[in-house]
Amino acid sequence: MSYEKIDEYMLDKYPKKVYRKRAKSVLPNDPAEPGEIQANVRTIPGIITQRGCTYAGCKGVILGPTRDIVNITHGPIGCGFYSWLTRRNQTRPESDKAENFIPYCFSTDMQDSNIVFGGEAKLKEAIQEAYDMFHPKAIAVFSTCPVGLIGDDVHAASKEMKAKFGDCNVFGFSCEGYKGVSQSAGHHIANNQIFKHVVGLDDTRSDSKFRVNLLGEYNIGGDGFVIDELFERCGIEIVSTFSGNSTIGAFENSHTADLNLIMCHRSINYVADMMEKKYGIPWLKVNFIGTEATSKSLRRLGEYFEDEELIAKIEAVIVEEEVKVKAELDLIKPNTKGKTTMLFVGASRAHHYQELFNELGMETLAAGYEFAHRDDYEGRRVIPNIKVDADSRNIEELHIEKDEAKYSQKLQDKKAALEAKGVEFSDYDGIMVEMEKGSLVIDDISHYEMEKLIDMYKPSIFCAGIKEKFAVQKMGIPLKQLHSYDYGGPYAGYKGAVNFYKDIDRMVNTKVWSLIKAPWATGAAMNASFVKVS
């Protein structure tokens, strides 16, 4: 894709000031030398962005998929509705009677009088009501914009109620929607509070030999279930998933794992870093989206645990599953080969899903994230060079110290020995090194830019979220939602890869989009003229 063309048709239509700002977030890719991209900066006022707010990142993304925490939104009901069950996070309670609060929307439903006279009393009443009705193990309280503006102290209210109950952990989040430039700030705030108030509370250790945490996997459409099943077949225990199908007990116990695996780097790398500092648990970046990526990630686990029996089990699963996937792919690939795609979603999904499109023989013309930072594009090596601006300073950085009683020097020694053999830990190369030369990388794409790109390159399919879906479809291009999967999925692991191949084949080969014509494109539009009425 030629940058000149993008410049001419897309960017230079902006006013000069906007052009200067947006041009820094739009780069032609060179995997050998990834350029510096502008990311995690405020969206320009007036531009229609894909982004969500800080509260949405904290409550909706990170805490939303936990089934036994009552998540109370302190704010107007609109904010609560916004973050209620929109991502299709699935869960599997232990029994019909076990706690599962995911289908509920808890809110203090703030009104004018609460804004004028304060809402803390109402919040405490709401916490009390939730406790009386459900007796949950934990209650989390989320601040919305009005709460920050009037100064309600959700932390003091939570502390008071926790002390009053004695058997229910109550903690708050200062995640007002305006707190950061996107939902990314909310992820960071959520990670901090879960780390501060929950992780490390339960030291019970099961006697399983291989114990890991899976971080940044949210069980959309059942992805987490597929990964659980794969791990079970290999004999690996997932102590805790942050936060798909998760429970407060699993979070409390997560510091007992021997390894952290990161799926979505942006939303959760903070937890892995903090756990390594405090407990000595090393972390690896993995990806279970795509057949090859899944096999590679499983083999990394075998390499880490250095156990012959485990390695043999992993290899047996890989052989068995890859044969099945290949049979399906051989049938589908002739239909999809040579088609094109664009992906603008999340941070990591726009990267991970390129694996599946590559397997289908499809080319990714352009991709980018809604809420990423430079390291998600260029790799973690750029972290020391990222300028910390006022928006990032707004988010609390926890000072983490080694827990002398619980820190595992053994795990750190293991990490050092494996590093000496060339195994890479605590690393992520970013999206750019894996995208084709000349493809386009765009951070925080605007609605206008999206329409221009589609107009110019007519991709066979566009991947984004619900806000873009219908506008893209009206342009005659199928859209696959990668936040909620459009009621499809799961797409993780081998089973998920086959589901994805089938769904994409169906979508890029349907003729329905070419049959739709706007009225003005068919010549049926009415002609009219102004008539002066005296």
Q: Strand pairing of 340-344 and 461-464?
A: parallel
What single-letter DSSP state applies at residue 522?
A: T
Query: Is residue 53 close enough to count as binding ligand SF4 by CB under 6 A?
Result: yes
* 132-151: contacts with ligand SF4 (CB under 6 A): 144-145
Kindly give the pairing relationship between strand 363-368 and strand 440-442: parallel
Least distance to ligand SF4, CB of residue 58, Å: 9
Q: Minimum CB separation from ligand SF4 for residue 177, in Å?
A: 3
Three-state secondary structure along 363-375? EEEEEECCCCCHH
Residue among 22, 67, 74, 87 flagged as catalytic: 87
- Cα-based torsion angle of the residue sequence 373, 244, 503, 233 in order, rounded to the nearest 10 degrees: 120
Applying CB under 6 A, the span of 53-61, 366-374, 426-434, 469-477 interacting with ligand SF4 comes to: 53-61
Beta-bridged to residue 367, according to DSSP, are 343, 441
* Cα 344 to Cα 358: distance, rounded to the nearest angstrom: 16
**Residue tagged active-site, from 22, 39, 56, 140:** 56
393 is an active site residue:
no
CA distances from 347 to 6, 187, 269, 489 (A): 23, 12, 12, 19
Among 22, 187, 197, 211, the one annotated catalytic: 187
Stretch that binds ligand SF4, among 52-60, 124-132, 196-204, 460-468 (CB under 6 A): 52-60
Binding mask 288-307 for ligand SF4 (x = CB under 6 A): --------------------
The residue among 79 and 508 lying less far from ligand SF4, judged by its C-beta, is 79
Of 75 and 221, which has the nearer Cβ to ligand SF4?
A: 75
Stretch that binds ligand SF4, among 6-14, 50-58, 441-449, 472-480 (CB under 6 A): 50-58
Residues in the chain: 534
Q: What is the DSSP letter of 32?
A: T
Which residue of this chain has its Cβ atom nearest to ligand SF4 in the complex? 177
Cross-strand partners of 464: 481
What mask, x for binding ligand SF4 by CB under 6 A, covers residues 74 to 113?
Answer: -x---x--x-------------------------------
Catalytic, 463? Answer: no
**Residue 1 or residue 145: which is nearer to ligand SF4 going by CB?**
145
Cα separation, 120 vs 124, whole angstroms: 6
Q: How, if at all, do strands 340-344 and 283-285 pair?
A: unpaired
Distance CA(432)–CA(450), nearest Å, equals 19
Compute CA distances 223 → 77, 244, 413, 483, whole Å: 30, 9, 33, 12
Identify whether 87 is a catalytic site residue: yes
- Residues numbered 171 to 190 that lie near ligand SF4 (CB under 6 A) are 177
**Six-digit token string for 322:** 């890859």
250 interacts with ligand SF4 by CB under 6 A: no
Contact status: 154 vs ligand SF4 (CB under 6 A): no
Give 98 or 149: the residue with its C-beta nearer to ligand SF4: 149
Q: Which residues bind ligand SF4 (CB under 6 A)?
A: 53, 55-56, 75, 79, 82, 144-145, 177
Q: Which residues are catalytic?
A: 53, 56, 87, 187
